[in-house]
């Protein structure tokens, strides 16, 4: 099968390697000439997953038209802020039935829309746009560490087709009909992970982080439910699964960004010095822009630290001294059931 992977960052490179190992014909589009040349010459990406020897069959190119030739599946692996631009370049170069699988986790930073909506607007037709999300750090997928993920699409047949294409002995793929929930979980967990990193930077303990993760899940479900998601989705791989790994892993760039914040570094300086995209920063801005009257204390606190330069220690103080309340929010599930 001919599969075109658009984006040669860590996740795009790992996914291209995974798909090529399953005996697919894989073309990989790169923005940087050094990446395409490095893969051609040495079988390695010089910028991302630099120690990973890539399968010989991967064809890397700067020419997106060449990469998309004969594509039977397109995998989008570009940061959220470039999704619309790149989807626009992909549009018109595909057959009408070619599925497009998006790997990025975030929102359209200009419109606040989910990325699958943005891609569908550009290529035409939401029924062939699928999303993949779960506890999947590229570094571990590239090493064939056993992992699981979930694919969601409004057309269940597309989900099942992609499930069979991507599944392997070390990469287990589930399907889900709740596109909204799967996407929101993938985006919102990055916000909570920044807060988790702040806790690490402040030197706080396991009790604190467990509390943050648990309340972060509740906040994720509250926001996602308002957007139309099934709150049960957040108990799955794209919700609690991705939330846990992103809040605790040394591979998490969002957690790492938060940890540096917690140690007193300014957010602008951290971002200027990072080659990797910290999606949680953009997701925080999008969520706060859509929040309205929703109670989102963790996202609001992260926003205050990033955008308003509040002290990280004050974030913890505000969260711990909020008004007391019941833990459970049964109305989220009741509201969903009576829609």
Binding site, annotated residues for sn-glycerol 3-phosphate: 105, 134, 189, 242, 252-254
Of 21, 56, 20, the residue nearest 39 (C-alpha) = 56
Q: Which of 52, 110, 144, 189 is catalytic?
A: 189
Q: How far apart are CA 224 and CA 215, in angstroms?
A: 14
Helix (H) / strand (E) containing 152: strand 147-153
Binding-site members for NAD(+) are 7-12, 138, 253
Q: Name the nearest CA neighbour of 131 among 110, 155, 112.
A: 155
189 in active site: yes
- Write out the two tokens for 101: 């699988």
Locus of tokens 């993949």? 132
Q: How buried is 250 (Cβ within 10 angstroms: 0-12 exposed, 13-18 middle, 19+ buried)?
A: exposed
Rounded (5°) CA angle 131-182-198? 110
Q: What is the DSSP string of 44-75?
A: S-SSSSTTPPPPTT-EEES-HHHHHTT-SEEE
**Residue numbering of the annotated binding site:** 7-12, 31, 48, 105, 134, 138, 189, 242, 252-254, 277, 279
Q: How many angstroms from the chain centroid is the CA of residue 127?
A: 20
Residues that constitute the known binding site for NADPH = 10-11, 31, 48, 105, 138, 253, 277, 279
Q: In this structure, are residues 31 and 277 in contact, taking their beta carbons and an 8 Å threshold?
A: no
Count of CB atoms situated within 10 Å of the CB of 154: 17
Cite the active site residues.
189
């Amino acid at each position: 099968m001919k599969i075109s992977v658009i984006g040669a960052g860590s996740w795009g490179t790992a996914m291209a390697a995974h798909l090529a190992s399953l005996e697919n014909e894989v073309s990989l589009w790169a923005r940087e000439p050094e990446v395409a040349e490095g893969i051609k010459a040495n079988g390695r990406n010089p910028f991302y997953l630099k120690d990973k020897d890539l399968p010989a069959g991967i064809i890397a190119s700067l020419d997106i038209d060449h990469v998309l030739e004969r594509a039977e599946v397109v995998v989008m692996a570009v940061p959220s802020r470039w999704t619309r631009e790149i989807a626009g370049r992909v549009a018109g170069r595909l057959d009408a039935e070619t599925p497009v699988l998006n790997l990025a986790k975030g929102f359209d930073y200009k419109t606040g829309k989910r990325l699958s909506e943005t891609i569908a607007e550009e290529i035409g037709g939401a029924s062939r746009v699928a999303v993949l999300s779960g506890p999947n750090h590229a570094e571990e997928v590239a090493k064939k560490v056993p992992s699981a993920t979930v694919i969601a699409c409004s057309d269940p047949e597309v989900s099942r087709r992609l499930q069979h294409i991507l599944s392997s002995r070390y990469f287990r793929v589930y399907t889900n009909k709740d596109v909204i929930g799967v996407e929101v979980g993938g985006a919102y967990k990055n916000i909570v992970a920044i807060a988790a990193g702040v806790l690490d930077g402040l030197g706080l303990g396991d009790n604190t982080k467990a509390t943050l993760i648990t309340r972060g899940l509740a906040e994720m479900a509250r926001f996602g439910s308002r957007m139309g998601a099934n709150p049960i989705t957040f108990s799955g791989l794209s919700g609690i699964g991705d939330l846990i790994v992103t809040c605790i892993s040394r591979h998490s760039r969002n957690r790492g960004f938060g940890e540096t914040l917690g140690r007193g570094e300014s957010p602008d300086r951290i971002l200027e010095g990072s080659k990797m995209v910290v999606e949680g920063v953009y997701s925080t801005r999008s969520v706060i822009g859509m929040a309205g009257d929703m109670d989102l204390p963790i996202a609001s606190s992260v926003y205050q630290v990033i955008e308003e330069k509040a002290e990280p220690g004050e974030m913890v103080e505000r969260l711990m001294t909020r008004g007391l309340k019941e833990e459970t929010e049964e109305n989220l599930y009741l509201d969903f059931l009576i829609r």
